[in-house]
Amino acid sequence: MKRAANHDVLNLTNIRKIFFAGTVDKVVALNGVDLSVADQEFVTVIGSNGAGKSTLLNVVAGVFPPERGGKVEIQGDEVTRLEEYKHARYVSRVWQEPEVGTSRNLSIEENLSLALLRGRPRTLKKAGNKKRRQIFREALAQIELGLEDRLTAQVGTLSGGQRQALSLVMATISKPSILLLDEHIATLDPRTAQTVMDLTEMIVERERMSTLMVTHNMEMALRYGKRLIMMHKGKIILDIGHDQKKDLKITDLIAAFERAAGEEFTDDNVLLSC
């Protein structure tokens, strides 16, 4: 496979996604998105409901391909029409619901074993071994929830916050090219959300992971990451790099939104979660 000359981890070119095409319910979820994410860049993606944030993550994760004419490249490899499970070689993801990122009926160790082999061929070798258990213990010790001593516990017995923290470890243990966080703390209570977000920041910084984090919360979008992207009606309407982002305030963001989108900012959902 040919490597691109630049150092971008992710290159999206002319990404469009239309749902229910040809019916009265037609929705243009993504309407020509171009985006490049540099290696080790932590990008936050903000936007109101229906802006296309989740659709964008789904395209990167390969849940569905974009419309013809669009192109998705990760690490210089074109993955546009690759099946979802093949994207896993490059992309890992933490979903909004802790239940989606973990398997309830398996133990913590078994969940991590599944995650450790992300994107690699699975064989008839024993899934659990001493060396792997050691890797798991070390990874779990760093999140300081005491899970390293409970490797054999059923994941179904963990709390939502613990499961989401485990999802995060599962998403990062095999060092993906790009980490997708899909409002991954939105369903947690405020304190647990903060804990999981702190863990996220710690892991992303330590592993220098290229990250796309979708959020509803403007304050979070400002506080975390080196770059902020705002989406509206399937387009990127704002792209603020590190230099400007440092001094950015929520009022600036709202003003910028109104300027860029050409309409008054009325999304209670976004405002309330500030």
Binding site for another protein (CB under 8 A): 61, 83-86, 88-89, 92-93, 95, 99-106, 110-111, 113-115, 117-120, 122-128, 154, 170
Q: Which is nearer to another protein, 26 or 81 (CB)?
A: 81
Q: Which is nearer to another protein, 152 or 266 (CB)?
A: 152
Residue type, position 52, single letter: G
Q: Which residue bears the tokens 């399937």?
A: 234
Phi, psi of 250 (to 5 degrees): -60, -40
Token duo for residue 150:
């409970």
- Smallest separation, CB 181 to another protein (Å): 13
In 3D space, the residue among 176, 214, 168 whose CA is nearest the CA of residue 195 turns out to be 168
- Smallest separation, CB 117 to another protein (Å): 6
Q: Which is nearer to another protein, 99 or 207 (CB)?
A: 99
Q: Which is nearer to another protein, 114 or 260 (CB)?
A: 114
- Smallest separation, CB 109 to another protein (Å): 10
- Smallest separation, CB 112 to another protein (Å): 11
Whole-angstrom Cα Rg for the chain: 19
Contact 19, 45 (CB under 8 A): no
**Whole-angstrom Cα distance, residue 141 to residue 147?**
7
**Whole-angstrom Cα distance, residue 85 to residue 67?**
19
Token duo for residue 214:
């979708």
Q: Which is nearer to another protein, 13 or 103 (CB)?
A: 103
- Smallest separation, CB 92 to another protein (Å): 7
**Whole-angstrom Cα distance, residue 214 to residue 191?**
19
DSSP conformational letter for 85: H
Q: Which is nearer to another protein, 32 or 119 (CB)?
A: 119
Phi, psi of 196 (to 5 degrees): -65, -35
- Smallest separation, CB 223 to another protein (Å): 27
- Smallest separation, CB 95 to another protein (Å): 8
Contact 130, 113 (CB under 8 A): no
Q: Which is nearer to another protein, 111 or 217 (CB)?
A: 111
DSSP conformational letter for 157: G
Give how far the C-alpha of residue 92 lies from the chain's centroid of Cα atoms, to the nearest Å. Answer: 7
Contact 167, 187 (CB under 8 A): no
